[in-house]
Chains A and B, each alone.
Chain A
Amino acid sequence: MELIFERSRKGKIGGTLPLKDVNEEVKVDPAYLRSRDAQLPCVSEPEVVRHFTRLSNMNFGVDSHFYPLGSCTMKYNPKFTEKIALLEEFTALHPLQPQLLKGAKLTQGALEIIYNLEAVLSEITGMAEYSTHPMAGAHGELTGVMMIAAYHRHKGNVRKHILIPDSGHGTNPASASIAGYEVKAIPSNADGVMDLEEFKKTLNEEVAAVMLTCPNTLGVFNPHIKDIADLTHEVGALMYYDGANLNAIMGKTRPGDLGFDVVHLNLHKTFATPHGGGGPGAGPVGVTKELAPFLPVSRVVKKDDGTFELDYDEPLSIGYIAPFYGNFGVLLKAYAYILLLGKEGLIEVSENAVLNANYLKVALSKYYDLPYDKNCLHEFVLSVSRQAEKGVRAVDMAKALIDKGIHPPTIYFPMIVKEAMMVEPTETESRETLDHFIDVMKYLAELAEKEPELFKDFPKTAPVGRVDEVKAAKDMDVACLNDDSL
């Protein structure tokens, strides 16, 4: 489609500006000024709105399409929480306001929401305290690992390694490494969970922490998780819980009860805030009482008179990891969601997420390989390797699904499964949708058997066909600069 720059015509303007009501003129030394105007497009408002509306029509989203993208929990985003987040008393609130003298009393509502959200997240996960500051899951991981480092420094421990199973999310080793640790990958066993013997062999007093997802990326719950936690604690290391899969276990088990010391959650997954095309999310971190002093500043505290204020005086804190209190707009939506659903609602969420996943798994295992045929929780991983023998790989299957109006599952992850297709339906999909997906997957399995060559041409009905990724990387055309300005 045409770029917005290609619609640009000199002299057009899209927005109105407030009137100039002062007589002052700018008198600045030209040395401080840009020599050419910024070459932004010149377009009118109707053209801008049409351009972006047409772009939006080229997207698959949860509102328009089934989106079983494994590990991403693409559930329905309630319209009510979107509406609440638009209240001006929240959107117009300046974050520095509570840091002014007497300013905290003018932000009591926002501070109370953060305080209450921390409390409910603590109860849901069995942790002592939370910080809402991290702005995404990976950011929560980094914050968590930084706290682990601060804890060991404080204890005088010299620790070098973080252990992560080979099925873990890519962000886990990346976060550990960026925080200054060396990563050791632990292989998975035949059941799809971290190999206990290999783990014991690698665990020693140089290990700072073990980072796990439970249930893991195969949707499998590790029955030895408590033993792993006990062994880890025996050598003075800590347990880190990647909360990406919390949607599987609410009300059933809690990371705190399993022996985890640090937890991050993805509010944009479990608590139904929109993914926004890749953010903004929110990745709060929870900790045990022992680690609470290391949480980032500021902390929201409740005073004896029932009012709230910010506390920056935490000598062991890792400091600032965000400019303020996290992605407040996202926190607000998650809090509204938790209030709506309540205890029973959240339990139903996990029960139905697991029901939907198992329903699909049982049906689809007739047509596709299932390398780890265990009771899954909220997601499961198929292998397209049987079809791949005919030349139809996971990526081909994904493109065929696009033609059928279904967003493909996550492919080629986790890396321990060949031709992986990771399916997470979530609880908000109807049985009819699931049945339709099963029919489509069955049809595609049969088609792969009979006419595998057809797959190379899929998708045929999408706004574009298969894109040339090699050319993209080679040309590195990442901005439209065909202008005289540069």
Chain B
Amino acid sequence: MNNELKVVHGVGKMSYIPHSKEDRTEMLKAIGIKSTDMADLFKCIPEKLRARSFDLPSGMSELEVDKTLRRLAKKNATDLITFVGGGFYDHYTPAAVDAVVSRSEFYTAYTPYQPEASQGTLQAIYEYQSCICHLTEMEVSNASLYDGGTALYEAAMMAMRITGRNKILMDGGVNPIYRKMLESYTSNLSIEFVEIPVCHGQSHRDEIEKYLDDKTAAIILQNPNFFGVIDDHTDISEMCHAKGALVIESVYPVSLGMLKTPREMGADITTGEGQSLGIPLSFGGPYLGFIATKKEYARKMPGRIVGATVDNEGRRAFVLTLQTREQHIRREKATSNICSNEALCALRALVYMCLTGRGGIKMVARLCMEKTEYAKKKLSKVKGVEVKTSSPTFNEFVIRLPKDPNEIIGKLIDKGFAAGFPLGRYYPDMEDYMLIAVTEKRTKEDIDRFAEALEEVLWN
């Protein structure tokens, strides 16, 4: 019995290896190895360089692994009603998005190096690039980047390449997670960062003007910003362009169903996190970074780009283009080290944008805003809660609590709510403040119950 089991294992059932024992023996023979010992394939590795240890558990059946992982899954609470956003949102994804991306013709393919064998992926990326351009009103988009934070870093590097300058102004309303990422990425480079705190939740024009000079490569702005506040950055763009500096605008794609586009505000490069376009929260990834710019800067943009062309019979065809910017051709002189994109996430976003379409994306944005206004009204009636209303917001807003937000959030978790994000974590002078996000998924009842629960944990 034992022996039999060993034989079954030897056939490689669990390793997805199709060879029978006979196959292996004959293949070894064909190679010129006389033994039946697979270890003989590794004679090129000197004995003294062999693994000193490989102490791993034995394999398990699907059923056992299923049980193990479901047990772990149950230790995650996803039944909370969430008002946590911070740049990452609980939006609804139509089922057809999942159906399309689960086609293995898409997910088991690789980067479309061979266009004739990859027209599906290539056309989808071209359509994705087109949708990003329509949403942002920019002229060219790449095939996607890892996430919104790395996209912002790539945009900053791109601006420095274009201007030949190395000073970056950073609006205080840019997602603090992204600001921390930029700090890390540039710590070995000589770049001067100037952070400009917001004023009444919006970009601080006077301070920006003070620090803006002819050494400035770009200003990084975000709309809506981390506090959910919306702004019109047109005047800042004019100020920057007058000094020869570029404008990088980080945006929340769903909000563009309604809000002024980066192009209308005069941005030169726009980036963002595409998670809100049909991509699950999934504990932080995989997500989707997008970047788009003006045509004149296309050749300075990092990452894969798909272009339309024709085949030898004049039929429409798509292909990776402008590849001379890239690492596999230019090596150390490449515009970026990026090799892959997040193609499957870009496909999700594309299908989402097609399904919601012109009218739907606007309706999603509008619903988010309306429900947020309702939540603001409701929470402002809770004793001791101050809703910040000095500037208009999209689907996120700031409240001030009479007690430590961390403690309140902890108590609300016990009542089934992920209440919001404590701003003190990234803004030391905002210890009493909490950020609250409302998407189209939250119902009036969710919001009513949340307001009641908040009142209860504050005062009972």
Q: Report the minimal beta-carbon distance from B151 to chain A, rounded to whole angstroms.
A: 11
Q: Report the minimal beta-carbon distance from A283 to chain B, rounded to whole angstroms.
A: 9
A377 and B43 CA atoms in complex are apart in Å by 10
Q: Report the minimal beta-carbon distance from B418 to chain A, rounded to whole angstroms.
A: 6
A33 and B365 CA atoms in complex are apart in Å by 11
Given known pairs A176-B332, A279-B341, the reply for A14 and B354 (CB within 8 Å) is yes
Q: Report the minimal beta-carbon distance from A4 to chain B, rounded to whole angstroms.
A: 5
* Of the residues B261, B286, B353, B364, contact of A17 by C-beta under 8 Å: B364
Chain B 273-286: CB-based contact to A (< 8 A → 1; otherwise 0): 10000001111111
Which residues of the partner chain A approach B327 to less than 8 Å between Cβ atoms?
A: 138, 170-171, 173-174
B131 within 8 Å of A by Cβ? yes
A170 and B328 CA atoms in complex are apart in Å by 5
Beta-carbon contact of A41 and B283 below 8 Å: no
* Of the residues A59, A139, A279, A468, contact of B118 by C-beta under 8 Å: A59
Q: Kindly specify which of B166-174, B193-201, B439-447, B452-460 makes contact with the partner chain.
A: B439-447
A113 and B43 CA atoms in complex are apart in Å by 36
* Of the residues B70, B126, B351, contact of A87 by C-beta under 8 Å: B70
Which residues of the partner chain B approach A341 to less than 8 Å between Cβ atoms?
A: 14-15, 59
Beta-carbon contact of A93 and B100 below 8 Å: no
A265 within 8 Å of B by Cβ? no
Task: With a 10 A CB-CB cut-off, give which of B15, B62, B180 has the most chain A CB atoms.
Answer: B15
Shortest Cβ distance from A463 into B: residue: B119
* Of the residues A89, A97, A351, contact of B84 by C-beta under 8 Å: A97
Shortest Cβ distance from B281 into A: residue: A94
A123 within 8 Å of B by Cβ? yes
Which residues of the partner chain A approach B46 to less than 8 Å between Cβ atoms?
A: 223
Beta-carbon contact of A135 and B44 below 8 Å: no
A383 and B410 CA atoms in complex are apart in Å by 64
B312 within 8 Å of A by Cβ? yes
Which residues of the partner chain A approach B61 to less than 8 Å between Cβ atoms?
A: 340
* Of the residues A171, A179, A323, A472, contact of B319 by C-beta under 8 Å: A472
Beta-carbon contact of A109 and B76 below 8 Å: yes
Given known pairs A95-B281, A138-B339, A328-B282, the reply for A472 and B65 (CB within 8 Å) is no
Beta-carbon contact of A94 and B84 below 8 Å: yes
Given known pairs A48-B351, A362-B31, A407-B114, the reply for A38 and B256 (CB within 8 Å) is yes
Which residues of the partner chain B approach A8 to less than 8 Å between Cβ atoms?
A: 357
A31 and B41 CA atoms in complex are apart in Å by 70
Beta-carbon contact of B123 and A480 below 8 Å: no
Q: Report the minimal beta-carbon distance from B383 to chain A, rounded to whole angstroms.
A: 22
Beta-carbon contact of A37 and B362 below 8 Å: yes
Which residues of the partner chain B approach A139 to less than 8 Å between Cβ atoms?
A: 146, 150, 338
Q: Report the minimal beta-carbon distance from A223 to chain B, rounded to whole angstroms.
A: 6
Which residues of the partner chain A approach B421 to less than 8 Å between Cβ atoms?
A: 96, 99-100
Chain A 185-219: CB-based contact to B (< 8 A → 1; otherwise 0): 00000000000000000000000000000000000
Which residues of the partner chain B approach A1 to less than 8 Å between Cβ atoms?
A: 119, 123, 316
Which residues of the partner chain A approach B133 to less than 8 Å between Cβ atoms?
A: 479, 481, 486
Which residues of the partner chain A approach B359 to less than 8 Å between Cβ atoms?
A: 13, 37, 42
Q: Kindly specify which of A230-238, A385-393, A426-434 makes contact with the partner chain.
A: A426-434
Task: With a 10 A CB-CB cut-off, give which of A74, A321, A402 has the most chain B CB atoms.
Answer: A321
Beta-carbon contact of A138 and B337 below 8 Å: yes
B1 within 8 Å of A by Cβ? no
B111 within 8 Å of A by Cβ? yes
Q: Kindly specify which of A250-258, A284-292, A443-451 makes contact with the partner chain.
A: A250-258
* Of the residues A95, A106, A136, A274, contact of B80 by C-beta under 8 Å: A106
Beta-carbon contact of A48 and B354 below 8 Å: yes
Task: With a 10 A CB-CB cut-off, give which of B149, B315, B328 has the most chain A CB atoms.
Answer: B328
* Residues in A364-413 with C-beta less than 8 Å from chain B: 374-375, 377, 398-399, 402, 407-408, 410, 413
A399 and B65 CA atoms in complex are apart in Å by 41
Beta-carbon contact of A141 and B15 below 8 Å: no
Chain A 303-331: CB-based contact to B (< 8 A → 1; otherwise 0): 00000000000000011111111111110
B139 within 8 Å of A by Cβ? yes
Chain B 322-338: CB-based contact to A (< 8 A → 1; otherwise 0): 10001111111110111
A72 and B111 CA atoms in complex are apart in Å by 10
Which residues of the partner chain B approach A226 to less than 8 Å between Cβ atoms?
A: 48-49
* Of the residues B23, B111, B443, contact of A277 by C-beta under 8 Å: B111
Which residues of the partner chain B approach A457 to less than 8 Å between Cβ atoms?
A: 312
Beta-carbon contact of B72 and A59 below 8 Å: no
* Of the residues A34, A146, A221, A327, contact of B256 by C-beta under 8 Å: A34
B147 within 8 Å of A by Cβ? yes
Q: Report the minimal beta-carbon distance from A416 to chain B, rounded to whole angstroms.
A: 13
A39 and B340 CA atoms in complex are apart in Å by 28
Which residues of the partner chain A approach B75 to less than 8 Å between Cβ atoms?
A: 107-109, 112
A102 within 8 Å of B by Cβ? yes
* Residues in B428-447 with C-beta less than 8 Å from chain A: 440-441, 443-445, 447
B360 within 8 Å of A by Cβ? yes
* Residues in A1-45 with C-beta less than 8 Å from chain B: 1, 3-5, 8, 12-18, 20-26, 28-29, 31-35, 37-43, 45
* Residues in B199-227 with C-beta less than 8 Å from chain A: none
Beta-carbon contact of A100 and B413 below 8 Å: yes
A106 and B78 CA atoms in complex are apart in Å by 8
Beta-carbon contact of B104 and A84 below 8 Å: no
Which residues of the partner chain B approach A23 to less than 8 Å between Cβ atoms?
A: 374
B361 within 8 Å of A by Cβ? yes
Given known pairs A59-B105, A375-B44, the reply for A101 and B367 (CB within 8 Å) is no
Given known pairs A146-B188, A278-B111, the reply for A323 and B56 (CB within 8 Å) is no
* Of the residues A42, A90, A92, A340, contact of B358 by C-beta under 8 Å: A42
B425 within 8 Å of A by Cβ? yes
B192 within 8 Å of A by Cβ? no
A346 within 8 Å of B by Cβ? yes
Q: Report the minimal beta-carbon distance from A211 to chain B, rounded to whole angstroms.
A: 11
Beta-carbon contact of B344 and A40 below 8 Å: no
B28 within 8 Å of A by Cβ? yes
Which residues of the partner chain A approach B355 to less than 8 Å between Cβ atoms?
A: 14-15, 43, 45, 48
Task: With a 10 A CB-CB cut-off, give which of B62, B69, B315, B333 has the most chain A CB atoms.
Answer: B69
Which residues of the partner chain B approach A320 to less than 8 Å between Cβ atoms?
A: 149, 177, 180-181, 183-184
Beta-carbon contact of B418 and A94 below 8 Å: yes
Given known pairs A48-B96, A176-B332, the reply for A72 and B110 (CB within 8 Å) is yes
Given known pairs A101-B410, A336-B65, A464-B115, the reply for A94 and B90 (CB within 8 Å) is yes
Which residues of the partner chain A approach B387 to less than 8 Å between Cβ atoms?
A: none
Chosen A-B contacts, 28 in total, with CB atoms closer than 8 Å, are A22-B447, A26-B366, A40-B134, A41-B353, A49-B96, A58-B123, A84-B66, A96-B86, A108-B75, A110-B283, A170-B331, A171-B327, A173-B327, A221-B44, A253-B51, A276-B344, A325-B283, A339-B57, A340-B61, A342-B59, A343-B54, A352-B19, A358-B41, A362-B30, A413-B328, A465-B116, A467-B311, A472-B307
- Give 8 nearest A-B pairs by CB, closest first: A324-B284, A342-B59, A280-B286, A276-B344, A95-B284, A319-B184, A14-B355, A109-B75
10 new A-B contacts, CB < 8 A, other than A257-B49, A323-B273, A402-B117, are: A32-B231, A34-B264, A92-B281, A109-B71, A252-B50, A277-B110, A320-B183, A322-B285, A323-B177, A478-B306
